[in-house]
């Protein structure tokens, strides 16, 4: 089984890539606070993950991870610029 910390890392990496493409956070160090994370189904090695990251009106990023048509993790986090 794939550990939950690796799923969180994948979600954070995907959200960071989206921010960089949009021009948010370029050249700034970022800190991330995980507000919530739920692991709903185990992920086996070799399964393909689909990760979606959407901004919320509260300024957080909501993530959903699915594999094989089932939701495996969900949650939200917030990025902060570090001076």
Give residue 31's pLDDT.
81
> Within 10 Å of residue 5's Cβ, how many Cβ atoms?
9
Bigger pLDDT: 13 vs 40 = 40
CATH number of residue 62's parent domain: 3.10.129.10
| Statement: residue 59 has pLDDT above 90 | no
- pLDDT band at 16, cuts 50/70/90? confident
Cα separation, 80 vs 28, whole angstroms: 10
Give residue 48's pLDDT.
95
| Statement: residue 27 has pLDDT above 60 | no
DSSP run (H or E) holding 66: strand 61-67
Cα separation, 22 vs 32, whole angstroms: 18
3-class SS at 39? strand
Q: Which domain holds residue 48?
A: 4-82
């Amino acid at each position: 089984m794939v550990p939950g910390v690796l799923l969180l890392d994948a979600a954070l990496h995907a959200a960071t890539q989206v921010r960089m493409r949009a021009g948010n956070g370029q050249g700034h160090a970022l800190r991330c606070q995980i507000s919530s994370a739920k692991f709903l189904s185990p992920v086996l090695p070799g399964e393909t993950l689909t990760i979606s990251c959407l901004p919320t009106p509260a300024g957080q990023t909501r993530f959903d991870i699915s594999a094989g048509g089932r939701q495996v993790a969900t949650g939200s986090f917030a990025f902060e610029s570090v001076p």
